[in-house]
Structure 1
């Protein structure tokens, strides 16, 4: 391979536009801060805060329930306040909350903090997701999200290194004050978000506020059309999407437990598994998302994801009967296959989010997606672990069958959601927006001329 081709390949790892580069850098900042804290969080909560493992788990479970409850309201608020404002405020408040962690002691403050943190993070995340879809031209959305996905993996890797250095001191004082580093990175991240350009929905919110100053009745104006709770295709699509995203359960929970409990593989292989996944998720998303531009392309990506998922189940299943180097190779190969499922599935869902949301209601659509995605996959850790470790081979086949059913349902659900959007936004969409929000400055938003 020539140097020119290598250089060209490396250049394709860099986001192609200034805005996509700024968004990728933001992802890097966010993940570095979060990864720094997450790496040492088990030690922090148990040895610094003084919680038991059961208390930590209970707090996270309660926070997960709260996250499920607030997902839809948070999406509605995004549409009212504007995605950039919601994202930047959520990022700043979430960062500042890390300043309280070193002073926390006992379960009650921990529970209060972790629930509040989940609410703030959910609101900020809803703003982030809506902003990215709103600010990027349609042709660049999938590719930009892929680059941001790569940057997240780089950031979490850097955070893990920083957290690992802190853990190496084996000093609880260092661990107690480690959240302040996450705070500093988080504040920088929030500032970086505030410097991003306003998306078209932010402009619509500002325009509506100006009109409301002149006419108070404008504050009561509603977004025209029907929302995502009337879009059955979108709800079912995200139910199946939640099931398809259980590749993460296979990746992070089931295969590692299977390695330890059901094979003769050495435990150090776990580090190689996660290391391989991280490297692939840094370098491949820009390539695996290329060409995914239509609903049919996205459905095809979901089928590719399902094929990799099934292949991983079949490969991993046989390692119960193999020994030595063959087992090591097959477990590693099964983990690589489920990484392929992760990458293809992400590309497909990036496209669904780009193409099948009503641009006037991206926050609300994102909230509904979060609710139904949770319903589609939150059960998987317990179910998959039981099926694989208790049933063995037949259990792995059942897991594979569940994902095949989800992939089968994705196509009809996606086309139903597409027909709904086409009915809601027939032909040109500018007239619909101007009726609700008045004239806007020039923008790339598909709703506005």
Structure 2
């Protein structure tokens, strides 16, 4: 049910995200600068809801909070068809982003509770279907873009709104997982005081710059710095999506423990270290050689993306205590979103500004981040083991009782 719910939701996202900017600029007739400003304001304010939303999920149950957030998103998305000004767009988009941040944190907590038997395999399958959903949604959006009418764009927006409602309906069929008890005298915002996890959040957010490499940086580089055929710009996204859909489960299912995650993070950095110089070389090769090099580079980069996302799952969930998964996932989402917000400015300024040297610097940056992965894992594992020992030693249940409910102690 969770895989199906996530798939449906991402089909809707693919429908909307592909054509949103065109709708607001061409149909609503808002200047592109105003659209960008509205979405930026909404995104920045939305970051504030991740940790509180995750905390609510930990205390009230992840399914409940996620369903409420999805309901708010369904209403906000439907309201976008009525937008006729910058102010209206800003307000509605802000509500949507606040709900999205809370839903993301609750989703993370729900994934932990659902995928208890084979967590790595479950998360790999989940990401495979999520990627497939985005691809299908993007294909559907192409028809609306071709039609280029208000009706066509409105259908996309309402289709995305319906995906939120349908996703919530599917989640209703899941068990209503109860909150796990917190240790005595625990601080409310425990995630913010967990230094190893905060460090990993920063590391994960920085490594997240690899995603806009595919969606933003490489297409610009191909069109303005290489002699590669223009069809390679479209091929970049198709190859990236195809590799992730086909290989995510095969690779990700083997990365189960935090130790596996630390090593996978290092492997991802090395793969990016290989792919970035390949992308740089496309500017110095003939037409068809450049096309072949682009295909090879995006294949290697996509492998790195699979290893990086799998490492993020293993470390992000494995280093967080079970009773506070929502709060920890909210913090991780905050770091990732902050990295994505800064990525366009960093990538276009540094890499496009420096050219080939910028690509080499970017590859070295990713490799350096990846090299820190095993150290972060050891630090986090050591710190958490010490905290668990202290809790067990101070608990009345230390003599053989159980302080927290087991993962299976759930009711509908």
Q: Normalised by the size of structure 1, how large is the TM-score?
A: 0.84
**1:48 partnered with 2:27:** yes
- Residue 56 of structure 1 and its aligned partner are, at CA, apart by 1.3
Q: Distance in 2 between matches of 1:183 and 1:383?
A: 33
Q: Structure 1 residues 169, 380: CA separation in 2 closer, same or farther (over 3 Å shift)?
A: closer
1:81 and 2:60 matched: yes
CA distance in 2, matches of 1:272, 1:226: 44
Q: 2:218 aligns with which of 255, 262, 271?
A: 255
Report the alpha carbon displacement of residue 431 of structure 1 after superposing the two structures with TM: 9.2
Alpha-carbon distance, 1:275 to partner: 0.8
Correspondence for 2:135 = 157
Which residue in 1 is equivalent to 2:83?
Answer: 104
Distance change (3 Å), C-alpha of 1:352 and 1:53: same
Pick from 131, 134, 149: which aligns with 2:110? Answer: 131
Q: Give the alignment partner of residue 246 of structure 1, picking from 198, 209, 219.
A: 209
- Residue 9 of structure 1 is matched in structure 2 by none
Task: Answer whether contact 1:31 1:155 (CA < 8 A) is retained.
Answer: yes
Q: Is the 8 A contact 2:191 2:331 kept in 1?
A: yes
2:14 maps to: 35
Matched residues in 1 for 2:30 and 2:46: separation? 22
- Quote how far apart the aligned CAs of 1:405 are: 2.0
Q: Is the alpha carbon distance of 1:341 and 1:160 closer, same or farther for their aligned partners in structure 2, counting shifts above 3 Å?
A: same
* Aligned: 1:64 with 2:43: yes
Count of aligned positions: 406
Q: How many angstroms apart in 1 are the aligned matches of 2:249 and 2:145?
A: 33
Residue 168 and residue 249 in structure 1: after superposition, are their counterparts in 2 closer, same or farther (change >3 A)?
Answer: closer
> For residue 189 of structure 1, what is the aligned residue in structure 2?
167
Taking the aligned partners of 1:64 and 1:423, their CA distance within structure 2 comes to 37
> Alpha-carbon deviation of 1:334?
1.2
Structure 2: how far apart are the matches of 1:266 and 1:151? 31
User: Is 1:326 aligned to residue 289 of structure 2?
Assistant: yes
Taking the TM superposition and a 5 Å limit, the aligned residue runs for 1:230-379 are 230-375=193-338, 378-379=341-342
Change (3 A) 1:393 1:169: closer
CA distance in 2, matches of 1:432, 1:45: 57
Residue equivalent to 2:408: 444
Taking only aligned residues, the RMSD between alpha carbons, in angstroms, comes to 2.7
My pick for the range that moved more, 259-268 or 91-100, is 91-100
Classify 1:415/1:143 alpha carbon distance in 2 versus 1 (closer, same or farther; 3 Å).
Answer: same
Q: Distance in 1 between matches of 2:404 and 2:308?
A: 36
| Contact persistence 2:316–2:332 (CA under 8 A) | no
Task: Indicate yes or no: 2:118 matched with 1:140.
Answer: yes
The CA distance in 2 between the partners of 1:429 and 1:163, in whole Å, is 53
1:5 maps to what in 2? none
Aligned partners of 2:268 and 2:307 also within 8 Å: yes
Structure 2 length-normalised TM: 0.91
Pair 1:386 & 2:349 matched: yes
Give the conservation status (yes or no) of the 8 Å contact 2:267–2:307: yes
TM-aligned CA deviation for residue 135 of structure 1: 3.0
Whole-Å separation in 2 of the counterparts to 1:178 and 1:326: 39
Runs of 4+ in 1 over 6 A off after TM superposition: 427-431, 438-442
- Residue 10 of structure 1 is matched in structure 2 by none
CA contact (8 A) 2:3 2:129 kept: yes
For 2:243 and 2:220, locate their aligned partners in 1 and report how far apart those are by CA, in whole Å: 22
Q: For residues 69 and 92 of structure 1, what CA distance do their matches in structure 2 show?
A: 19
Residue range with higher mean Cα deviation, 176-185 or 267-276: 176-185
